[in-house]
Structure 1
Amino acid sequence: MSDEIKHECGIALLRLRKPLQYYIDKYGTPLYAVNKMALLMNKQANRGQDGAGIANIKLHVPPGNRYISRYRSVESKPIEDIFEKVNKKFRKAEKEDPKQFKNAEWLQQHYGFTGEVWMGHLRYGTHGKNEIENCHPFLRQNNWKSRNLVVAGNFNMTNVDSLFDKLVSLGQHPKDKVDTVTVMEKIGHFLDEEVQRQFDHFKPLFPEDNKQLSTLIEGNIDLGRVLQRSCRDFDGGYTMCGMTGTGAAFVARDPAGIRPAYYYADDEVIVVASEKPAIKMSFNCDYSDIEEIKPGHAMVIDVSGEYRQEEFLEPLPKKSCSFERIYFSRASDPDIYHERKKLGKLVLPQILKEIDNDLANTVFSYIPNTAETAFFGLVEGLDEYLVKERKRHIREGLLFEEDLERLLSFRPRTEKLISKDVKLRTFITDDAHRDEMVSNVYETTFGVVKEHQDTIVLIDDSIVRGTTLERSILRMLDRLSPKKIVIVSSAPQIRYPDCYGIDMSKMKDFVAFRAVLKLLEENNREELLDETFAKCKDALENDFAHQQNFVKALYEPFTDEQISRKIAEIVTPKNCQAEISVIYQTVDGLHTACPGHSGDWYFTGDYPTPGGNKVVNQAFVNYMVGKGNERAYGAF
């Protein structure tokens, strides 16, 4: 999207199902798992450029040997930084003893990152400083292997305060009130209780043999039970990975399926990732072999390498994030590719109406590159429309030969009007000249638009704030001297904050919200702001804000078209010569294009969890009392 927003993190989990020596013998290198993890994370690098981290656990190493390794990085290229450090270890091992370099037992005794269980995380920090302490995986250590816990996830919780209070009531003293800490400590608490439960069960059987007792405990820990007890109070969107010190692992998905999680398994590996293309490219499997972890279920992997999906919370109606389909996930996923094309095709009727069907004097283009697939769908829709028009004219039989030739040879005019100059950076300039520099980050193609005659139709993934349109894109397009510029969003109007992972938490940031404020003012309906504020404040003070989204009332007096026209006025730059129009995808169109992914709360205000309602009400109160820059839910 032209308005850059930070978004959901990415996860990767890899379990080798055979001893390390098997992979050394078969693939000729002890770096099989390292290379696969590097590929899994690089193929999801779009999901986290603020930081990255990996953790690794060795199975069955004797006491006295390290069995958990972890690296995290917030360097400019964190994935590259991490795996360069890991590879440095292996280069050192090969140099130290070339003969032993392919001996798994020797490697695991002397070097880290030689274990069979791997976890990776890519961080896009929605809030909080970009420091190493904020990077996953997080580690909860204990001298009992079974009590060690490594956690990473793609999640945001709406109820961090209540989760923190719950930990305190359990007798803990959490070091910070952030969802990553509260999640890890809550799971850790119930993991401790599960270990104690197994200890109490087996101790009478082996009163004098604590070593065998530990082995029994490690093999019988019920991770499903741990998740049932620890996650029942969670309100948010999440895909959480966990590994115990024994090498058991899990990937848990929230009951509404908000955050994505996919897995693949064969005789050699079990792998979980946030996106299917990462698994496909890393293991050369068929897409049909990659399955989705069901909402409210966890992929549980035993110490033995056996796996199963286990329900730990009752699933809710599935509301998987539609922004994954519109923008975040890679379009190389065949399902997402076709969905994005359909999103582009479905806005065509609105476009034709806006340009009075004058295709001869219309130039179609797109920005940014992620909108290219929707653009292909739009062009495909234009081709289908022209086929129908040709048939209609031929059936009417009122064409001269030259008219028929013109009709049959006509093609829509598609051009690359704007491209980004990746070499130009803007952070070094002062605020007074920043807009001018931002506009020069893009390059404009001259000589293809007929001045004062053509209409430009430019499709974008979505329009969040509208600032990039106003400050750069529309100014550049206006230099081409078109008669009219039509900006098309393949997503509906973003009206409400997200609280499940996307960096969209402040009401004042949304150009649709600013448009409604102007409409309320122009129509003498500003009392609706005070009425809504009173309802939100009362609901928050009396603990029923989770029951209803009161902010919806602000949008109800106006049609989508009225809001779109006002948005067009807001984003029109000063002294712009061309007429500006803005078109949005409809919510019905979104559901038609992405039928299996109905999470649409940022467009409709229909939140999948009670915490979402509380967040939107709090966000509006923050705006009204002058705290619009504050986040409406717990820290990340």
Structure 2
Amino acid sequence: MCGIVGVVAKTPVNQLLYDGLLVLQHRGQDAAGIVTAEGHMFHMHKGQGLVRDVFRTRNMRSLLGNAGIGHVRYPTAGSASSLAESQPFYVNSPFGIVLAHNGNLTNDKELKDDMYRSDLRHINTNSDSEALLNVLAHEISRRTQGPILTPKIVFDAIEAVHSRVRGAYAVVALIAGFGLVAFRDPHGIRPLSLGRHETQEGTEYLVASESVVLDTMGFKFWRDIAPGEAVYVSFDGEFHNRQCHPSPKLVPCIFEHVYFARPDSVIDGISVHDARLKMGEQLASKVREMVPEMDIDVVIPIPDTSRDSALELANALNLPYREGFMKNRYIGRTFIMPGQASRKKSVRQKLNPIAGEFRGKNVLLIDDSIVRGTTSKEIVQMVRDVGAKKVYLASAAPPVMYPHVYGIDMPTRAELIATGRTHAEIATEIGADAVIYQDLSALIQACTDASGGVITEFETSCFDGKYITGDITDAYLDALEAKRLSPLSTKTKEGDADSRVLDLNIGVAEQNLI
């Protein structure tokens, strides 16, 4: 999962892009990058780590221009430790293009081979985003003659991108000397919001992964970019859009509402906050069935994403709601120092129980989802250690049993606690008295209700194994998992980035790309 933002304004955008990435920091903490456009010149700075750590005052001063794009990275394809795969990516032909991408391509291997053999383009990293950039650049190049670029050329090129690329992608890109491009895959799996801001000099435009960026940056939410649609905004502020796919169909990722998106965002007309409240309503019915005696003294969320669901569930069951955990918001990355390699890293570094809320009580813990189960196991034990009598764990999402291939870094099937286990066996593994899962139909109904009945179909592959793009086979999943488990997939040796990938794309802000 990643976060992207793009803007065409009438004044310098470096601070706006920085602030926008801070708002999207929850979507990726591995790396961050900004590219600004000043006439025909790009300025770039990117690096590994949090936004606040990547950008210093000297970097910001060098990010000149009234248009730009930004990216925060949570790695889903390629190497998690490679600085070369930080975004945005850059190619110098045609014109000079930089691109940032949220999502994951499912045919990137074929694309890279096709790029090499047919398009004569070199892909230097393992990133599918670099492949996507080169497909876009090639399709624009095929349609241009001389230094002229029209909206039609851009939209025709994106139409060709849709025909060649499979998977999930929300994209922002800059074309040097011309403008900002944004587009979304034909199923709208990953979100992309569009906003406007009226000034005396004219209209400014901003696109971002979540609508909350528009709210906090002073832009008025206009609408979501539709599945298959492309938007082109010239650096002069001329707005153009076109549907670039013959048969788009909105099937958004339901996990955005379960976990990833901020509750104050609205995605495809669905308030994330409302969706989570309705998840709590639906889960309350399941809890009532599973624990008929209702020997529950208190409902406590596992912060932060489950709070809305837990509150609504407690209201529906007429049970007390309490905040039972304190979260340390200042814990960043943890490091295994000499002498600590054998010490288990505990969830207590970030989460600590308030003992009085648990002692002598039958507790219902609410979490947004249960994936590996390792964190859940530690939390349950933590709660027992401070004196809870019984510990029930309820998940606002169904059992996660399949990898997610559209932009969420799900573990392999063998690592998922729900794979091959009954609910009772999962409870035993976690150490809970019972584990209660939301039904998939109830989760879909919650999000449908939050949409006002407008959206009835969602991308739910991690729960049911049904992949909307129709190209995911067992062989594909086996290869994906083999790559994930390979010791060379992310590092050459412990602690070192993959030195086999030469970083040809990194630009510090003091350097100009063209």
TM-score, normalised with respect to structure 1: 0.69
Distance in 2 of aligned mates of 1:501 and 1:308: 28
Distance in 2 of aligned mates of 1:220 and 1:431: 56
Q: Deviation of residue 602 (structure 1)?
A: 0.7
Q: Which residue of 2 aligns with 1:82?
A: 55
Q: Pick the aligned partner of 1:327 from 259, 265, 286.
A: 259
- Assess, with a 3 A threshold, how the Cα gap between structure 1 residues 469 and 284 changes in structure 2: closer, same or farther: same
Distance in 2 of aligned mates of 1:82 and 1:426: 22
Q: Which residue of 2 aligns with 1:545?
A: none
> Do the aligned partners of 1:58 and 1:247 also contact (CA within 8 Å) in 2?
no
Q: Pick the aligned partner of 2:46 from 72, 78, 81.
A: 72
Distance in 2 of aligned mates of 1:620 and 1:430: 34
Distance in 2 of aligned mates of 1:275 and 1:242: 17
- Assess, with a 3 A threshold, how the Cα gap between structure 1 residues 438 and 270 changes in structure 2: closer, same or farther: closer
Q: Deviation of residue 591 (structure 1)?
A: 1.0
Alignment of 1:98-497 (within 5 A): 113-126=63-76, 127-142=78-93, 147-176=95-124, 178-196=127-145, 199=146, 214=147, 217-219=148-150, 222-266=153-197, 267-283=202-218, 285=220, 289-333=221-265, 335-358=271-294, 361-383=296-318, 412-422=319-329, 427-428=336-337, 430-434=340-344, 437-439=346-348, 441-449=350-358, 451=360, 454-470=361-377, 472-497=378-403
> Do the aligned partners of 1:374 and 1:490 also contact (CA within 8 Å) in 2?
yes
Distance in 2 of aligned mates of 1:265 and 1:434: 49
* Structure 2: gaps of 5 or more residues: 449-454, 491-497, 502-514
SS in 2 for 1:260: coil
- Assess, with a 3 A threshold, how the Cα gap between structure 1 residues 220 and 88 changes in structure 2: closer, same or farther: closer
> Do the aligned partners of 1:507 and 1:620 also contact (CA within 8 Å) in 2?
no
Q: Which amino acid aligns with 2:215?
A: K
Q: Which amino acid aligns with 2:340?
A: D
> Do the aligned partners of 2:283 and 2:313 also contact (CA within 8 Å) in 1?
yes
Q: Deviation of residue 431 (structure 1)?
A: 4.8
For the pair shown, the structure with the greater C-alpha radius of gyration is: 1
- Assess, with a 3 A threshold, how the Cα gap between structure 1 residues 353 and 484 changes in structure 2: closer, same or farther: farther
Q: Which amino acid aligns with 1:69?
A: H
SS in 1 for 2:400: coil
Distance in 2 of aligned mates of 1:320 and 1:271: 21
- Assess, with a 3 A threshold, how the Cα gap between structure 1 residues 510 and 478 changes in structure 2: closer, same or farther: same
Q: Which amino acid aligns with 1:606?
A: K
Q: Deviations over 1:191-249 (max 9, x none)?
A: 211223xx4xxxxxxxxxxxxxx4xx145661001111233111110011121112222
SS in 2 for 1:42: helix
Distance in 1 of aligned mates of 2:151 and 2:350: 58
> Do the aligned partners of 1:459 and 1:489 also contact (CA within 8 Å) in 2?
yes
Q: Which residue of 2 aligns with 1:50?
A: 30
* Structure 1: gaps of 5 or more residues: 1-7, 24-30, 60-65, 90-112, 200-213, 384-411, 516-562, 573-578
Q: Deviations over 1:281-333 (max 9, x none)?
A: 10153xxx431000011112235422233112234432211111111111112
Distance in 2 of aligned mates of 1:499 and 1:568: 27
Q: Deviation of residue 585 (structure 1)?
A: 0.8
Q: Which residue of 2 aligns with 1:408?
A: none
Q: Deviation of residue 514 (structure 1)?
A: 4.1
Q: Deviations over 1:493-548 (max 9, x none)?
A: 11111111100151112111141xxxxxxxxxxxxxxxxxxxxxxxxxxxxxxxxx
Q: Which residue of 1 aligns with 2:512?
A: none
Distance in 1 of aligned mates of 2:190 and 2:483: 29
Q: Pick the aligned partner of 1:565 from 424, 429, 439.
A: 424
SS in 2 for 1:495: coil
- Assess, with a 3 A threshold, how the Cα gap between structure 1 residues 315 and 630 changes in structure 2: closer, same or farther: farther
- Assess, with a 3 A threshold, how the Cα gap between structure 1 residues 138 and 441 changes in structure 2: closer, same or farther: closer
Two-structure CA RMSD over aligned residues (Å): 2.8
Q: Which amino acid aligns with 1:147?
A: F
* Larger deviation, residues 423-432 vs 313-322: 423-432
Q: Which residue of 2 aligns with 1:40?
A: 20
Aligned identity (percent) is 23
User: How many matched pairs?
Assistant: 471
Distance in 2 of aligned mates of 1:147 and 1:606: 40
- Assess, with a 3 A threshold, how the Cα gap between structure 1 residues 439 and 43 changes in structure 2: closer, same or farther: closer
Q: Which residue of 1 aligns with 2:452?
A: none
Q: Which residue of 2 aligns with 1:594?
A: 447
Which structure has greater strand proportion? 2
